[in-house]
Amino acid sequence: MSDVRTEKPRLIADERLRELARDDWPMRFRARYPRVGELEAGIENDCLLEAIDVHVHAEPCSLAARNQDYTQLAIEAARAGMRALVKKDHHYSTVPEAQAVQRHIDHLVDSGLLARRVEVYGGVPLSFSLDSAQITQSLRFSSFKMIWCNPIDGEPLVRDGKVRPEAERIIALAREHGVALTLGVPGHSRKKYGGIDDYDGLMPLVERVAALGAAAVLDHPLSSFTIDQIERLAVGGIYAGLFCYPSLPSVIKAPVVDPERTRELVNRLGPQRCIVASDVGMLLEPTALEAFRLMIRLLLALGFGKEDLALMLKTNPAKLIGLKP
């Protein structure tokens, strides 16, 4: 095996691409994953009860048009029996928005128009500044649950192979106040990082997060890293994000995906080190809840049990954002 520090993310080879695109793929898929024949409509409903999605996108969105606004998404999640949502935006804080949506959800529950409550949260992206004041000012809101590291065009957190002092201060604040971190790849801000390799650029950040004991999850690592690299990045309690993107095909993001990579990641790390989240919602993608349902069905078809899914959908994300089991 090549040196993991310089190993490039695995690309689907021409032979594998042809295999995935063959006309007889449905028959071969059923033969390889026989549990797909046991799936029934609604099989995912029990798994959705008390599930937590720590990475949702919705309107308003600074990056691209989305197929739902956050209020609609929260209402659907509540009706499905989900426990909590955390909305991401790459360029602005979603904490005040989450606070407002939560008040609306609670009003619907109090008025008898919604049968149950869903907890609505947001976070702060490190987009234009590493000033820790943006974190301390958000701490007074109970809806503040996530810091988005390396968002698109975000501020570089690593320089010359070391975590910048300003970033280290933010990591320490996250640990002190129980706010989680989502660790995106430097490639989201490649121009600011100077074209650094994603693995080399993320590993110093991972090491400091683990050393300081902050709760964190890797942002859709299957789109950027090999399984070997993900295993080395998911250290010190850092979870691997098993997101609908790129485990499910998306015409705008990942039109061809390999289900074996999803299964291999969970088998290698174990369900206790993975978190399922949606990370979808563009106009050419399913809604967050639709994708969540598909993801649960896929994991069941790949051979994972409902106990495994409970860890990845409920227990682990609750630990990540500091909710009681």
pLDDT tens, residue by residue, 106-147: 999 999 999 999 999 999 999 999 999 999 999 999 999 999
Residues whose CB is less than 8 angstroms from the CB of residue 78 and which lie 6 or more positions away in sequence, other chains included: 105, 109, 114, 115, 116, 117, 118
Average pLDDT over residues 284-311: 96
- 26 within some domain: no
Tell me if 51 is assigned to some domain.
yes
DSSP state of 91: S
What's the pLDDT band for 6 if we cut at 50, 70, 90? Answer: very low
Mean pLDDT of the chain: 92
Neighbours of 13 (CB within 10 A): 9
- Is 30 a member of any domain? no
Judged against a pLDDT cut of 90, whether residue 308 lies above it is answered with yes
Q: Is residue 175 part of a domain?
A: yes
**CA–CA gap between residue 242 and residue 257 (Å, rounded):** 13
Residue 2 has pLDDT above 50, yes or no: no
Lowest mean pLDDT among 20-24, 69-73, 80-84: 20-24
Is residue 214 one of the residues assigned to a domain? yes
Q: Would you tell me the crossing angle of helices 288-301 and 70-79 to the nearest 10 degrees?
A: 50
Q: What is the reported pTM?
A: 0.92
Give domain status of residue 25, yes or no.
no
So what's the pLDDT on residue 13? Answer: 52
pLDDT digits (tens, 9 = 90+) for 7-21: 444 454 556 666 766
pLDDT value for 205: 97
Question: What's the confidence (pLDDT) of residue 257?
Answer: 85
The reported pLDDT for the residue numbered 17 is: 64
104, 208, 292 from 77: Cα distances, Å: 14, 34, 10
Q: Summarize pLDDT for 34-64 with one digit per residue, the tens.
A: 999 889 999 999 999 999 999 999 999 999 9
**Which token pair is 15?**
């032979």
Strands (E), 144-277: 144-149, 158-159, 162-163, 180-183, 216-218, 239-243, 274-277
Structural domain tally of the chain?
1
The reported pLDDT for the residue numbered 10 is 46
- At residue 109, the pLDDT reads 98
What per-residue confidence (pLDDT) applies to 194? 84
For residue 260, being part of any structural domain is answered with yes
DSSP lists the bridge partners of residue 243 as: 277
pLDDT at 9 (0 to 100): 43
Tell me the pLDDT tens digit for each residue of 223-236.
Answer: 999 999 999 999 98
Q: Residue 82 is part of which domain span? A: 43-320
The answer to whether residue 163 sits within a structural domain is: yes
The CATH number for 190's domain is 3.20.20.140
pLDDT digits (tens, 9 = 90+) for 166-216: 999 999 999 999 999 999 999 888 888 888 899 999 999 999 999 999 999
Task: Kindly give, in sequence order, each residue whose CB lies less than 8 Å from that of residue 169, ignoring residues fewer than 6 positions away.
Answer: 132
Instruction: Choose the weakest-confidence range: 70-79, 162-171, 175-184, 243-252.
Output: 243-252
Q: Are 52 and 83 in contact (CB under 8 A)?
A: yes
pLDDT of residue 15: 66
d(CA 238, CA 222): 15
Query: Beta-strand (E) ranges in the chain?
Result: 52-56, 84-87, 119-125, 144-149, 158-159, 162-163, 180-183, 216-218, 239-243, 274-277
Cis peptide before 60 (omega within 30 of 0): yes
